[in-house]
Amino acid sequence: MFIINTINLIIFQSIKSSKKLIFLLKKLNRGDIKTQSICLYGTVLNSLNTIEKSLKSVYRPDAEIVVVDGGSNDGTYERLIELSKEFNMKVYKLPNSSRGLGRNYAIKKCPENSYASYFDLDDEYNQYYHKSIDWGLSLGLPNPLYHLVSREYAIKKGGWKDLNYAEDVEFMARMGFKFFIPVIFRKPINSINFSNLRNFETIRYSSGSLSNIKRSVRLAIDLPRGNGYKFSEYISLPYFKSKKYLVPSGLLLYTIAKIKGIYRYDKILNNYDIMFKFMVSGLVDPVKEIKAENSDVIFTILEKTAINLNLKWVMQRLNEINLYAYKCLQNNFWVIAGVKEENFLKKYNLSNCKFIGE
C-alpha cells in the first residue's frame, strides 16, 4: 500500500509540475513574463583595424549588439554592415556625434527591458567581461555594475550626456552602481603609449590642423563638464601646473564650460571622486565571485582621490576583499594599488611600490 501511495504521489506531482510548466509557457507566449535580454552597445570612429577582433571578443549568442558610427571615413561603417549578420548586430550612423551622444543613441536602440553594457571597439575583452555580466544579471538590480545597467533605468535617469570627454565619469556618477569587480577584463588591441597618444588621436579623429584645434578645444571644455570640476580643481591639473602660461586660457575655457553647463553632483566631491566612491564601496572579491585568477585581480585609485574619500576607509575595503595595499607610481602618478600578491605589481606597470597595509 505504501508503494502504491508513493507512486500515486509521484504521478500527481508530475502532473502538477507539467500543468505549472504549461501555465508558465502560456504566460511567456502572451508576453506576461518579461525575458531578461542583454544588449552590448558602443560607438566607433575610424577603427577599421580593431572592430572585428573587438566584436569577436564580446559576442555572445544571447546578446544583441548595437554600434553607432560617428562618421568614419576609413571603411569602418561599411565593414560593420558586412559583419552585422555574423554578430547579431544593428549598425547606425550618426556623423559628428560626440561619444556621449552616440552612446545615448545606441542605448535607446537596445531592446526594451534589456540590460545594457557598453564596450569600446578599440579593446579586446576576455572571459571576465562575460562572467561579470552574468554575475550582475543574477542580482536583479537596475544598476548592478560599473558596466552593466538596466536600459530603462539609464534612460529614466537621463541617459548619456553630449560629451566627448569624461562622458563615462559623468554617467557613472549620476547612475551609481552597487558593486565593482576589480579584475582586468579588457585590453587595448593597439597599444598606445602616453607619449604618442595625442599624435595617435590627431591622426585618427581629425582631418587637418583646424579640425585638430576644434577637437582639442572641445576636449578641454568637456573635461571640467564631465568631471564636475570646480575652477580650482581644473586649474590644478598637471597640464596647467606644468605650463603656468596656459592658466589664462584655462580660465576662458572653464568659463565656456560653465556657460554650457558643468555637471556636478556633490558639493565636496567631484564626479571622478564620486565614481571611485561607488567603486570602493561596492568592491567584491573576483576570486570568490567569478572564479578569477589571483594574478588578474587589481584595483588602483589615485592617492589624491583616496585621500579625498578617506584613505583609511579605502584601505579597509581593500582588506575586506583580501587585497594587500601598496602605494605605487603609475604613469607618473601616485596611486594606491590593491593586489593578491606583491609579485603581481610589475604586471601592471606599478613601480616604486611601498606596502602600506592589508
Tell me the DSSP string of 62-121.
Answer: TEEEEEEE---SSSHHHHHHHHTTTTTEEEEE-TT--HHHHHHHHHHHSPTTEEEEE--T
Please give the Cα distance from 231 to 235 (Å, whole number): 6
Give the mean pLDDT of 53-68: 98
pLDDT above 70 as % of the chain: 85
- Which of 85-99, 134-148, 232-246 is predicted least confidently? 232-246
Strand 89-93, strand 149-150: pairing: unpaired
The confidence band for 35, taking pLDDT boundaries of 50, 70 and 90, is low
Per DSSP, 5 falls in state H
- Domains of the chain, by residue range, sit at 38-159, 194-227+229-260, 271-357
C-alpha cell at 238: 598637471
CATH of domain 38-159: 3.90.550.10
C-alpha cell at 156: 529614466
The confidence band for 222, taking pLDDT boundaries of 50, 70 and 90, is very high
- Which of 13-17, 102-106, 203-207 is predicted least confidently? 13-17
